[in-house]
Structure 1
Amino acid sequence: MTSQTEIYLKDFHRRRAGATRRAYGNHPARSAHAEYPSSYHALAKRVPNDGMPRTVLDLACGDGPLLQILNDRGNSATKLIGIDMSDGELSAARTVLPQDVRLINERAQDLSLDTGSIDYVLSHMALMLMDDIEQVIREIRRVLREGGSLSAVVGRAFLTGPVGEVFLNIFRPIAKANLAHLPLGDARTRSESGWSELLQHGFANVVFEDIEVDWTPTPEQLWSDMLDTYDADRMSETARAQFKSELLSAFAPMQREDGTLKTGWGLRLIQASAA
């Protein structure tokens, strides 16, 4: 049965297809161990670029940025599949991806793919939002061949540094007064220990990598991007106007000489092998 959360997410991504790409697609991402043009590239790097035949599933593929990166490698032996529950996102993906990239409109909790048919499952900024994450993980393990790989980028910290602290101080009272509770995902997806627990059955060699995404927007640019977030989208026009006014006022003295703010996102890259 489709939950209220899924109903909202499907509606949001129909209206604002490509929101995740706009947030993460063009920002340089850095970690202690590697540098990636974006967090999508961090996931793409988990798939060897050696021309060997393999099948890759992008779970919750959105409008297809990760599939684009993989396709642009030019390895015809790599079969690409994208699954998403949003028909709006998949429609956008279809316009930019070649026809041999298979796109499927379905839920991660009930995949139509054959057991053991996938070599690599990738997922970008989605698993931490999903209902019944234990069933999602069971389905991921089912479709993976033995020894196959799961790699996922999930959220770790939103708007880092002082900018994030100011943001939360303004957001929390407005949200409490204006937003009905909308459960987004399982609390265990917000910590390494939680992921270790979720992946303890069926997976081995679970490792984590922190990815820091720098962002230096002007206050107006930051606000514009906030409109692509679930919380701002769910506010009434009055609450949204209050939120914007208070944010811009608080950010004004935090601007650097060039008018920008120094902030970013903290992401977590999870890798595990199907055991």
Structure 2
Amino acid sequence: MTSQAEVYLQDFHRRRAGATRRAFGNLPARSTHAEYPSSYHALAKRVPNDGMSRTELDLACGDGPLLQILNDRRNAGTKLIGLDMSEGELSAARAVLPPDVRLINERAQELSLDTDSVDYVLSHMALMLMDDIEQVIREIRRVLREGGSFSAVVGRAFLTEEVGEVFLDVFKPIAKANLTHLPLGDARTRSETGWSELLQHCFVNVAFENIEIDWTPTPEQLWLDMLDTYDADRMSEATRAQFKGELLSAFAPMQREDGTLKTGWGLRLVQASAA
């Protein structure tokens, strides 16, 4: 059964395909170990670039930014597969990816891929939104070969620094008065403890790495990016106008000399090997 959350997500990504790429595709990312052109590159780095032939699956691939990075460096024997439940996102991906990248329109809970057929499963900013995450994990393990690798970038902190605190001070009362609850994902995907619990039966060598993304938008730029978020999208026009006005007013005294705000995103890289 398609849940209320999945119906909404499919509709959102039909109307706003590429939202995740727009948010993260051009922002440099860093960890304690390395710096990357983006969080997509940080995830792609989990696959060795050594010329060996592999099958690599991008789970919830969106409009294909991670697949583009993987495709740019693959050798002739590497197979790339992208899977997403949004036909809108896949249509956008088909427009930019070569025809030999296989794109599949289906849910992560019911993969059509053969058992033991994939060497690497990757996922960028998607697993924390999925229904029945335990079944998703089982399917990931089923399609992975023994010793295969699972890596995912998931959310950790939304709008860092004081900007995030001010954002929530404005958002919470507006959301409480105007938005119905939309259950998105499993709370366990928001912590290392939760991920350890989810992966313990099917995976070994579970490891975590924090990824920081610095972002210095103007208040207006930040607002435009908020239009690509689920909460702002679900607001009525009147509520959205109220939210924008209160948010820009609250941000005005926080602007630096160049007119920008100092904020960013905290992400978490989850890695494990198939037992």
What TM-score, normalized by structure 2, do the two folds share?
0.99
1:97 aligns with 2:97: yes
SS across alignment from 1:47: coil
- Partners in 1 of 2:169 and 2:75 — Cα distance? 48
Query: 1:74 deviation in Å?
Result: 4.1
Distance 2:74 2:83 in 1: 21
| 1:244, distance to aligned residue in structure 2 (A) | 0.2
Match of 1:41 in 2: 41
The one-letter code matched in structure 1 to 2:103 is L
Distance across 2 between alignment mates of 1:106 and 1:74: 25
Residue 73 of structure 2 aligns to a residue whose secondary structure is coil
Quote the offset at 1:55 in angstroms.
0.2
Match of 1:261 in 2: 261
1:23 pairs with 2:23: yes
Alpha-carbon distance in 2 for matches of 1:74, 1:211? 25
* Mapped partners of 1:159, 1:99: distance in 2: 37
5+ unaligned residues in a row in structure 1: which ranges? none
Is 2:207 aligned against 1:195? no
Residues 78-105 of structure 1, C-alpha deviations (whole Å, 9 max, x = no match): 1100000000000000000000000000
SS at match of 2:141: helix
Aligned mates of 2:157, 2:5 — CA distance in 1? 22
Give a deviation string over 1:60-81, Cα, whole Å, max 9, x none: 0000000000001142221100
Amino acid at match of 1:105: N
Corresponding residue for 1:108? 108
The residue aligned with 2:222 is 222
Q: Which amino acid aligns with 2:202?
A: G
How many equivalent residue pairs?
Answer: 275
Aligned-partner Cα distance in 2 for 1:56–1:33: 24
Q: How many angstroms apart in 2 are the aligned matches of 1:160 and 1:242? A: 23
Q: Tell which deviates more after alignment, 101-110 or 67-76.
A: 67-76
Partner of 1:239: 239
Note the 1:143-182 alignment, pairs <5 A: 143-182=143-182
Q: 1:22 & 1:245 partners in 2: Cα distance?
A: 23
Pairing 1:75–2:75 present: yes
Post-superposition Cα deviations, 1:27-47, rounded to whole Å, max 9, x if no partner, equal 000111111110000110011
Query: Displacement of 1:50 after TM fit?
Result: 1.0
- Computed over aligned residues only, the root mean square deviation of the Cα atoms, in angstroms, reads 0.5
Q: Which runs of 4+ in 1 moved over 6 A?
A: none
